[in-house]
Structure formats: structure tokens, C-alpha cells
Structure 1
Amino acid sequence: MAGMRVAVFASGFGSNFGALADAAKQQRLEGASLELLVCDKPEAPVVERAREAGVDVFTFRPREYSSRETYETEILAELRRREVDLIVLAGYMRIITPLLVEPFYGRMINVHPSLLPAFPGVNGIRQALEYGVKVTGVTVHYVDGGLDSGPIIAQRAVEIADDDTEETLAPRIHAAEQELLPWVVSRIAAGAVQLDGRRVVVK
């Protein structure tokens, strides 16, 4: 999709946002542009990252709203005003309701630190270590309103060493995320990703 307009949702440090911003600056996103950062924590480091990258920011404090739908109504209006084509969830730590999922189904993706469907939800890295698997990784998938249950676009495997801990494994997982997520966004922007039911074909 030439000139695809992207909104990134994030809550924390923003390493995946940074990877996307770097890819955009280096013209590796097939013409996609980062139009907006949506963040539920105005003090989060990702907010400053966005400002340094010249990306507009929409912040809010969930506790100041009566419900998720209330603040999502404001977010949806902002996304529509900016004619956003794709939402990228990159470390956004809030549940998203159908109010946002339904109008953006097939145009909202998430990056998750495991090889889904294994280890969905929080602490995917810890879950993999505790289970004792030898290989884990990262997944980029469409968001369907379930818990990390949407159609899978792409995955990258990361081997687990016998002496790995969360502290040693996490940097390799995050590095894989920062490679895979911009690549997926570039493929979507190029019109090379086709969604058919649960099957996704990337050309």
C-alpha cells in the first residue's frame, strides 16, 4: 500500500518503535510513514523516542476514563482523522476492545515474544524457559480480539541455551523482534501480505 500511514501503540521503553522509526528513516518500509504514537503512559520513554523521531504523540491516562471504550473512542477518532491505514501494537500493555479491533481487522498487527500459539499472554519469555522448550522466538500476527490468537504473519526462531535466563534470553528475543517487525510492515506496505481466513501468505 503505497504511502501507508502507520500508528504505533506502545507502553514502555519503545525499542520496537525505535526499530520502526530507524527503518522508516532508512527508507526500508516501502514508503510507509509513522504518523502517530499512541501511549497509555505519558511518562514512558517511548514518548520521548517518538518526539525525537518527529512522530506525533497521543497520550492518555486510562484511570481518567470511565471505561476502555471511552478512551478508545477518542483514539479511534484520532486514527480516522489522520487516515491511519495500519496499527502496530509494539509493547502496548492494554487489552483492546472490539471498538478498535473490528474497524481495523486485517489492519492491526502485534508482535509477541514467543512462537505462537505457544506461550500467549504476558511473560512469554519466562513461560518458554519454565516449560523447558529448546527453541522459542517471536511472532507477528493479526489482532482478532483474542489473547494473541490472530492469524500468524511471520515468525522467527530463537534457540534457548541450557544456561539461559530471562536476562540472557530477552536481548536475543528483542533483537529478533526488531528485525522481524519492520520487515512485516514493509511487506504489508508493499501489498505483499494476503490474509485468507487463518492463512496468511507473504510474497
Structure 2
Amino acid sequence: MKEGETIHDMYTKLSSITNELRSLGETINMSKQVRKVLQILPKLWESKVDAITEAKDLKVPTMDALIGNLKTHEMNRSQDFSKKEAKKDKSLGSKGNSSQCLYMDIGCSKHTTGNIKDFISLKALKGRGISFRDRKKGHILGVGRIGKSIEESIENVYHVSGLKYKLLSVSHICDKGNEVKFTFESCTVTNQTTKKVVLIAQM
């Protein structure tokens, strides 16, 4: 993927190549197409690729789901860059938030974070080791809740050593009686029983 090229541009080229090969009688399966897309993403996308790779270990996503996920991340990155530039222009002299990036994913098997400061309650565990995409290893150190309070929190979040981002499972959140709503600027998790907002993530 070339510098300045969008996910849409990249996918258009890949689709053209795939269609040409198909017309010549050579079929490329979905798993190979997904791996190819992840391999050609720039290094700046490494944390996103790690998140997708870990989430999809047991299930290969469809190409449409993968491209949709990447386009959302691309939009988030663009907005985040614009916000940072706006802060520079204001010259406030204050340091930015050092919290980890948050990813909401429909396919991951569990909630995870590498930042112990995210937790409002945490139980230590002697968990199994896990491997990241760059072959580095981490371990599950504990499990607990993250959020503002017990009522406004996400439970069963695993603390994983070496993880550089937060990864939350949309399906798990919905299974707990919550509604997840995405807009252009944010992602909001609302408890369907209490109607209280559990979590707001800026996009």
C-alpha cells in the first residue's frame, strides 16, 4: 500500500487483480486475500493489524468485514490527526492523553487491555501466555472491570502484559444486555435495562 493511498484505493486495485486472475481460471481463497491485505498495510497500522490478527485466530473474517473495519480505523486516524493539529494551533501547552488506543471489534473472543490503570477492580490470575503478531509474547495477569463505576463499566476484561491497546468485543458487550451505537464521532455503549451510558469511545 503506497503512501497517501486510501483503503478504498488499495481494495479497488486488489479486486481488479483478483478478478483478472479469476478470469484466467485461478481462484484465490478468502483466507489468502485477507492475509495479503494485512501484509501490505503500512507499519503505522501495526497495532490495528495485531488486534485483527488476535481477534481472528479462530475465524477468518470476510473481505467485506475486514475492509469495513479498516475503513473505520482509517477514518478514526484521520479525525485523530485533525484533532491533534487543532490542539497544536491552540498552543495550550498541555500534554495529550497518554491512554491506549481503543478498538471495538465484532470478532474478538475476549476483552483485553495492557494498561492496569484502566481497571476499577482487578483480580490477579496466573493465565496462559499469548503471542502477538511480531512474535513477542505476553501473559494474562488478571481480569476485572474497566469504566467510571460499577454501574458504568465493562466486566471480564483481561489484563495482558505487553499489549499496546484496548480491545473490546462488541458481541460480548451486546450479550450483557447493552446496545452499541456507532456514529461518525463516537461509539456509545448503553445498558438497555437502566438506559445508562456505560462507555463512550471517541472515534
**TM-score w.r.t. structure 1 length?**
0.28
Larger Cα Rg: Structure 1 or Structure 2? 2
Q: Which has the higher strand share?
A: 2
Determine which structure has greater relative contact order: mean sequence separation of CA pairs < 8 Å that are 6+ residues apart, divided by chain length.
1
